[in-house]
Amino acid sequence: MTIFTQKQKIKQSLMVLFLFTAGLFMASKAQATCHASFTDTVNGKLVRFASTSTISSGGHLTYHWSFGDGTHSDNGYPTHTYASFNTSYTVCLHIYDSVNSCDDSTCQTITTNGASCTAHFSSSISLLSVSFSNSGSSALAHSHSATWSFGDGTSATGDNPSHTYSHKGDYYVKVTIVDNVTNCSSYDDRDIYVTNCALTSSFTYSMSSRTASFTSTGSSSSTMTYVWTFGDGHTDTTSGSTASHAYGGSDNDYGVNLSISDPSTGCSADHSQTIHICKALSRFHYYITGHTIQFYADSSNSSSDTYSWLLGDNGAKSTSFGPSHTYPGEGSYSVCLTATDPGVSCSSLHCESIKIVDPTYCISGNVNVANGLSGHSMVYLISYNPSDSSLKALDSFQIYHDSAKFYEFCNLKNGTYYTKAALLSANANFSSYLPTYHNDATKWSSATAIVINNSSVGNANISMKAGSNPGGPGFIGGKITAGANKVGDPEVGILVILYNASNNPIAYTHTDVNGIYGISNLAYGSYSVGVEIPGKVCTQTTVTLSSSNASVKNVNYNVGIKTITAAEGSGIKNSDLTIENANVYPNPVTDKLIINTNLQTTQRVNIQITDVAGKVISETVKTISNGPQALELDATTLHNGIYFIKMQLQNNKVLEARFVKAQ
């Protein structure tokens, strides 16, 4: 596919949708009658949206909503809950009619309102009399009403009514509140139990080894009966108000219940509580800050109790009351505490699985062309792994319409990322701009890294790189196949970029299903052909077109694990200097970086080292002799991280490689 010519009108009907290297073509859509619109209903943080969009007769709509907080929906009538009250959000709806091949978008601002009301009541029971309180209801801040139903056929109004029942039993109580400001209503309901019996049940206990002694401290009378249930399957109905029980096994906690009854009144009462065989409790609480967790043992323990913590991180331990530990990263960690009471030589054990989750952030920006912001484009997100210098495709974001020209990727952890944009065929500038990385690079090795460090990154704009091909009778083409000990399978959808003698991009294309590419309508002159695959270093080849050599069809490449090189027998000369990952070593480097060179002539070479953000770390000029040479560079002053080395020859040819500095 030939583009960027000033002499021939280019007809483009394919939309390039690629993920770094793969090309996907879809037929261009003709415009038809369709109009996007929607309504919204706000209730607190809950908003119900409804599409009111119109389409041509016989059409079929699909929807894409952007709620303005980084979330999306493809439902025609979605409901969305926002994080904050009284907050404005820009909501956009994009519609697409697959039958009539048209699309449209609209955006409007919605604002959440005050909190939705909630009802909640409490009660205080004294025999048959109950005092109710509506103090837990949210509507108390506004003018409101409260209506009560007491479950015995009676009712009342107001916030704090009292009611006396005529008989003991269970009653269903309901309060309904109405907020006169927000017109919101809510209710709370539950069963309560009232009785005319005044009995109370309670007890205390003491431990001697694994034998517990219990004493009733509640109501008592000469006719009272006592039933002790010890929580281990044993019951005592004969001991009366005091009882003792020897626990077997090794469990520490038991649920004990005391039930008392007075046959003279027919009243009864129960009391349950958990007893601890070993009073050195092993339960604990904790606070998480980043990857650091602060632990605390139970504050009710005796000062003489001892502790043994297993912190779940490669054998990390502690014997303090409140240890703090920093974990290597997010994940689940099993933490166990053994608390020991040295006075009675008993211990208890408690374990919990604790999860550390790293916070996430967003990357956002605009796609720009020379005359301003650009819609109708696809933006790709790429992650960088510093451990092996690899790049990986993560996500894509389609900008559907000129009214929404920003992109946004969220739920991202701290790290290094790249973004890349390509205009779609619906964009009026489609044939004038090349796929471009942030900030304005056509090569991944020259792209500006986006570093997330505990905060979101905005304004990660992409300035699309324009091409300028004057046109002519020339042609350059070839084939790209898998190399590095493979059998030469064709590489499909690979991006090929053509540069002029000044190293400015002028045209691009993608390989077809056979790995073949071709760029036509080229003027006579010298060009460089580059193959762009993120994470792989390409050695560009130089091609000269003339009246006697107007068509060059064998500019072939082999794609290896980390490099892209001209195929043997292609008939094309490589650049004057070859510099590949394999010839920059050791990688990672600790002190001295060695670069193998092979110049055809002795010349002065400008050598520049930059970091991933594009900052120049060092720059020097060295005279390098022709033939195989080993150039040494001092890397001891570099901090740990990723760096690029750029070497500019006397003919302005720039060659690049990436290396890692480690300890």
Cα(first)–Cα(last) distance of the chain, in Å?
47
**What total of structural domains would you count in the chain?**
4
| The last residue of a domain, from among 538, 553, 574 | 574
In a domain, 305, yes or no: yes
Instruction: Give the phi and the psi of residue 431 in degrees, each rounded to 5.
Output: -85, 5
**Neighbour-count burial of 597, counting CB atoms closer than 10 A to its CB (0-12 exposed, 13-18 middle, 19+ buried):** buried
Same domain, 487 and 460: no
CATH of the domain at 475: 2.60.40.10
Same domain, 473 and 538: yes
- In order of 3, 449, 631, the CA distances from 377 in angstroms are 18, 21, 44
What is residue 488's predicted lDDT score, i.e. its pLDDT? 67
Compute the half-sphere exposure of residue 655: CA atoms within 13 Å on the CB side of its CA.
26
**Whether 657 contacts 581, CB under 8 Å:** yes
What is residue 4's predicted lDDT score, i.e. its pLDDT? 39
In a domain, 273, yes or no: no
Same domain, 515 and 604: no
Same domain, 457 and 372: yes
In a domain, 93, yes or no: no
Look up tokens 């139970």; give the residue: 298
**Whether 501 contacts 515, CB under 8 Å:** no
Same domain, 320 and 416: no
What is residue 402's predicted lDDT score, i.e. its pLDDT? 60
- d(C-alpha 129, C-alpha 122), whole Å: 14
Same domain, 343 and 424: no
CATH of the domain at 626: 2.60.40.2550
Structure tokens at 103: 């699309």
Same domain, 653 and 590: yes
Same domain, 481 and 541: yes
What is residue 438's predicted lDDT score, i.e. its pLDDT? 92
Same domain, 487 and 434: no
Structural domain range at position 434: 361-466
Same domain, 548 and 564: yes
Q: Which residues of the chain have pLDDT under 50?
A: 1-31, 485-486, 571-582
DSSP 140: G
In a domain, 541, yes or no: yes
What is residue 137's predicted lDDT score, i.e. its pLDDT? 66
| The last residue of a domain, from among 532, 559, 574 | 574
Same domain, 593 and 533: no
DSSP-derived pairing of the beta strands 361-369 and 462-463: parallel
- d(C-alpha 333, C-alpha 352), whole Å: 8
Instruction: Give the phi and the psi of residue 464 in degrees, each rounded to 5.
Output: -60, 140
Same domain, 373 and 320: no
CB contact burial 315-325 (16+ within 10 A = b; e otherwise): eeebeebebeb
- In order of 234, 476, 520, the CA distances from 8 in angstroms are 97, 17, 11
**Neighbour-count burial of 267, counting CB atoms closer than 10 A to its CB (0-12 exposed, 13-18 middle, 19+ buried):** middle
In a domain, 268, yes or no: no
In a domain, 227, yes or no: no
In 102-236, the DSSP E strands lie at 102-111, 122-126, 129-133, 144-149, 155-157, 162-164, 169-179, 184-194, 203-208, 211-216, 225-229, 235-236
What is residue 651's predicted lDDT score, i.e. its pLDDT? 67
User: Using a CB cutoff of 8 Å and minimum separation of 24, what contacts does 351-356 make?
Assistant: 352/284, 354/286, 354/288, 354/293, 354/312, 355/330, 355/331, 356/288, 356/291, 356/293, 356/327, 356/329, 356/330, 356/331, 356/332
**Neighbour-count burial of 218, counting CB atoms closer than 10 A to its CB (0-12 exposed, 13-18 middle, 19+ buried):** middle
pTM: 0.43
In a domain, 543, yes or no: yes
Adjacency order of strands within the sheet including 162-164: 122-126, 129-133, 162-164
In a domain, 160, yes or no: no
| The last residue of a domain, from among 421, 438, 466 | 466
Instruction: Give 619-632 pLDDT, tens digit per residue.
Output: 888 888 887 788 88
